[in-house]
Amino acid sequence: MTETYIEKTSGRWRGRVYTLVMLLGIGAVVACTVKEGFISPAGSTEGYFHSREIERRVDSIMRLLTLEEKIGQLCMYTSHHDITGPSTPIYTEDLIREGKVGAMFNAFTSSHNAYLQRIAVEESPHGIPILFGYDVIHGFKTIFPINLAMSCSWDTTLVEQVARVSAMEATASGVKWTFSPMCDVSRDARWGRVSEGSGEDYLLCGKMGAAMVRGYQGTDMSSDTSLVACVKHLAGYGAVQAGRDYHTVDITERTLRGVYLPAYKTALDAGAASVMTAFNEVDGCPATSSYYLMTDILRNEWGFGGLVVSDYTAIMELLHHGTATDSLSATAQAINAGVNIDMESDFYRQYLRLAVEYGYVNERQVDRMCRDVLRIKFYAGLFDNPYQNTDTIRERTAHKKDSYMQLSRRVARESCVLLENEDMALPLDPALNIAVIGPLADSRDDLLGSWRAAGDTLGVLSILDAMRERYPHITYAKGSPLMGDDTTGFARAREIATAADVVLMVCGESCQWTGEAASVTDISLPSIQNELLQVVRGVNRNVVMILLNGRPLELTSVVPYTCAILEAWFPGSNGARGVVDIISGEYNPSGRLTMSFPRRVGQVPIHYDMKNTGRPYTPDNPQQKYLSRYLFTPNSPLFPFGYGLSYTTYEYSDVNVEKEHYLTGEPIRITARVKNTGKIAGVETAQLYVRDVVGSVTRPVRELKSWQKVYLEPGEEQIIVFSLTEKDLSFYRADMTWGIETGKYDVWVGGDSNASEGDYFYIKD
């Protein structure tokens, strides 16, 4: 028999769970407490979720559970606080009482989660606590810029701070698990979920993902401010064909391993405790049923010891993929692949016992999957204190603190990218008469972007509000809707533009146009906004545009009608003030693009680290036809990866590799001189690119290998030093072994992926 109780001391739950076990007539008391700190590893994930003491405690619980109770730990259902997809009607509370719910998501208040946790701990057969998850993507209550924007800061320390604040706020409202970071490499701006990741380069995506993991989880996962991280979506979700969400991914093993897997691995090496499967297929097999991805690579090759959760109803969707004949088959495929938790499909609860009875699934596999879930609950401190995140007093004071809002402002201004600034149109003098025009100028909601968790517009300023705080001479006209054909606002826009010294236009996308299930075929400004721009430019040549959007846009038709463009993305709760910090010159813009902006949508997917081809196009031969080129459009993007302007200028020189020849395994030292040649101080992001000139397989024309942010006063110069290791230069060779090859390597250091200052070196045996 078992009995579970919670100690109560001085009117407050102490949260210590004890299970009294009667085995073979011998009474034994197993104290299921844990206070071991979780320390994120520096290297491989192997073994870091497998302490001897935790395994003993997991054993003590596994002995008690029936097959159905083990299955219950593998089931996850949504609360009706927030629905992110088609919901299965479930009598969730009854299932919790029966011990058939291991995790829940979209429940995010301390009182509600305490209520559900109390049912689990006090009324279910063994009192096993629930793990509560939520999509905390770029903030919980205090919303920060979208993830794509944050990556444009190129500042992993800053991103880690954002994740730490997100964890502080979310855990105060009962949440212990976030489905973040998204480490999908994204090269097609039509895909709505580019907003949720860190762009087109796997090195930068991985570094940003690792920073978020560290920020979410901290150094002790049992802490009441630690949020369990979930790396997603394994694997290759960013490569969906035609940029259409949930679509097919068809890539080679070399591309999978060389481009898409490294970012996930980097984030997992930072200590992430969970992984989410991708909706898409890889090589004809849906990721959610891929033994190759979830077991061969993730667990066996990478040594991952955490848990794997399906995406929303992804196990059910195996039926639609056409690889499962029925629900029983889909269930067996997913758990045999290594998916621990069934999110919302309800297939494990309904069919997993039958799958075991019919011999489709070995019960030992159910045991393995259940142990993983229990193990993470121990590391998360839930057996020590299941009510650790249900303090209503803490919740009332945890959100939107002044320091958090100031961080939101700082991140916003460091994430903005100045794309154009003809004749130093920016910053704007406060004495100017400024006409603020555009469908997004007075929007508050859109500033938060998609996936804003529990964020709201309370205390959020629009761009117009923030401009009025700083500038005394403001007039405003909406001008047009975001989309449609209503031109009635043109007249007022024309009127105030005519009378103004400068026009500040705020255009772009609705926050609903990016994120999940928000793919598009046209990434240009809607025609009504383009028409408004032309009307305004017809009466005032001084047009500055602020863009609010969640993906790279096609701006070829916009640039001729503007003298400055500031890419502000969706900047978050205090983002408007951050944007105006740049407009006013209080902050010198330092953001650099992490996704290329195409000239035309027909160029996508587009990325800087392309292959050379056998007939490479160079601008030196514009008339030669039989090259890898477009007839009427250059191959190059309008704004390349790594690009961004400043209110000052920088000059690179003296790029120098320490010596010409290196032995395999020998560290390579590269130096470069960067100078602020302008009149104000600024922060430059110096980027190091490398090309393996000849390989056993074709290699990219250049790859980002490192970067440094450098603060320079006017006229100041610094020598920056980069060091490359054998690992930095390794790749999957012709025989699919991982390693370095001998030969010549070109290097460049500069302010974007078109850097021209360079040197070279040779690797020899």
User: Does residue 311 carry a catalytic annotation?
Assistant: yes
Predicted confidence (pLDDT) per residue in 693-712, tens digit: 999 999 999 999 999 999 99
Q: What is the DSSP letter of 700?
A: B
Token pair listed for 174: 């009962």
Give kind and range of the element (H or E) at residue 412. Answer: helix 402-415
Predicted confidence (pLDDT) per residue in 109-150, tens digit: 999 999 999 999 999 999 999 999 999 999 999 999 999 999
Q: What is the DSSP letter of 286?
A: E
The answer on pLDDT for 16 being more than 50 is no
Count the neighbouring beta carbons within 10 Å of the beta carbon of residue 33.
15
CA gap 631, 468 in Å, rounded: 47
Q: What average pLDDT score do residues 367-374 get?
A: 98
Query: Which is catalytic among the residues 184, 201, 269, 311?
Result: 311
Predicted confidence (pLDDT) per residue in 41-58, tens digit: 333 444 567 899 999 999
Burial (Cβ within 10 Å: 0-12, 13-18, ≥19) of residue 322: exposed
**What type of residue sits at position 353?**
R
Q: Which pLDDT does position 687 carry in this prediction?
A: 98
Count the helix, strand and coil residues of the chain and give each as a percent rounded to the nearest 5.
30, 20, 45
Token pair listed for 158: 């800053």
Question: What percentage of residues in the chain have a pLDDT greater than 90?
Answer: 90
The answer on pLDDT for 305 being more than 50 is yes
Please tell me the number of Cα atoms within 13 Å of 156 on its side-chain side.
18
Query: How far is the CA of 438 from the CAs of 409, 432, 582, in angstroms?
Result: 22, 19, 19
Is the CB of residue 645 less than 8 Å from the CB of residue 421? Answer: yes
The answer on pLDDT for 21 being more than 80 is no
Query: How far is the CA of 181 from the CAs of 214, 229, 526, in angstroms?
Result: 11, 7, 31
Q: Which pLDDT does position 122 carry in this prediction?
A: 97
CA gap 417, 590 in Å, rounded: 7
Question: Strands 285-286 and 474-477: what pairing?
Answer: unpaired
Q: Which residue has the higher pLDDT, 723 or 22?
A: 723
Q: Which pLDDT does position 81 carry in this prediction?
A: 65
Predicted confidence (pLDDT) per residue in 497-537, tens digit: 999 999 999 999 999 999 999 999 999 999 999 999 999 99
- Using omega within 30 degrees of 0 as the cis cutoff, is the peptide bond preceding 605 cis? yes
Q: Per residue in 195-225, is it b (16+ CB within 10 Å) or e — as a string?
A: bbbbbbbbbbbbbbbbbbbbbbbbebbbbbb
CA gap 148, 385 in Å, rounded: 36
Give kind and range of the element (H or E) at residue 396. Answer: helix 392-398
CA gap 190, 520 in Å, rounded: 5
Q: Which pLDDT does position 620 carry in this prediction?
A: 77
Q: What are phi and psi of 214, to 5 degrees?
A: -60, -40
The answer on pLDDT for 28 being more than 70 is no
Q: Per residue in 665-698, is it b (16+ CB within 10 Å) or e — as a string?
A: eeebebebbbbbebeeebbbbbbbbbbbeeeeee
CA gap 138, 143 in Å, rounded: 6
Crossing angle, helix 363-379 and helix 347-357, to 10 degrees?
Answer: 140
The answer on pLDDT for 22 being more than 60 is no
Q: Which pLDDT does position 618 carry in this prediction?
A: 83
Is the CB of residue 348 less than 8 Å from the CB of residue 194? Answer: no
Query: How far is the CA of 12 from the CAs of 191, 377, 568, 587, 676, in angstroms?
Result: 48, 22, 46, 48, 59
CA gap 405, 426 in Å, rounded: 25
Q: What average pLDDT score do residues 659-664 get?
A: 97
Burial (Cβ within 10 Å: 0-12, 13-18, ≥19) of residue 577: buried
Burial (Cβ within 10 Å: 0-12, 13-18, ≥19) of residue 91: exposed
Is the CB of residue 398 less than 8 Å from the CB of residue 173? Answer: yes
The answer on pLDDT for 614 being more than 80 is yes
Is the CB of residue 707 less than 8 Å from the CB of residue 685? Answer: yes
The answer on pLDDT for 25 being more than 50 is no
Q: Where are the beta strands (DSSP E) in 375-523?
A: 417-421, 434-437, 474-477, 502-508
Predicted confidence (pLDDT) per residue in 380-413, tens digit: 999 999 999 999 999 999 999 999 999 999 999 9
Domains and CATH numbers, the chain: 2-393 (3.20.20.300), 406-603 (3.40.50.1700), 650-764 (2.60.40.10)
| Counts for the chain of helices (H) and strands (E), in that order | 21, 29
Instruction: Give Cα 559 to chain centroid, integer Å.
Output: 29
Q: Which pLDDT does position 4 carry in this prediction?
A: 32
The answer on pLDDT for 763 being more than 70 is yes
CA gap 68, 353 in Å, rounded: 7
The answer on pLDDT for 301 being more than 50 is yes
Token pair listed for 428: 């704007």
CA gap 662, 668 in Å, rounded: 7
Of the pLDDT bands very low, low, confident and very high (cuts 50, 70, 90), residue 1 is very low
Q: Which pLDDT does position 90 carry in this prediction?
A: 59
Contacts of 91 (CB under 8 A, 6+ apart): none
Q: Which pLDDT does position 86 carry in this prediction?
A: 39
Task: Give the strand order in the sheet containing 2-9.
Answer: 2-9, 12-23, 26-31
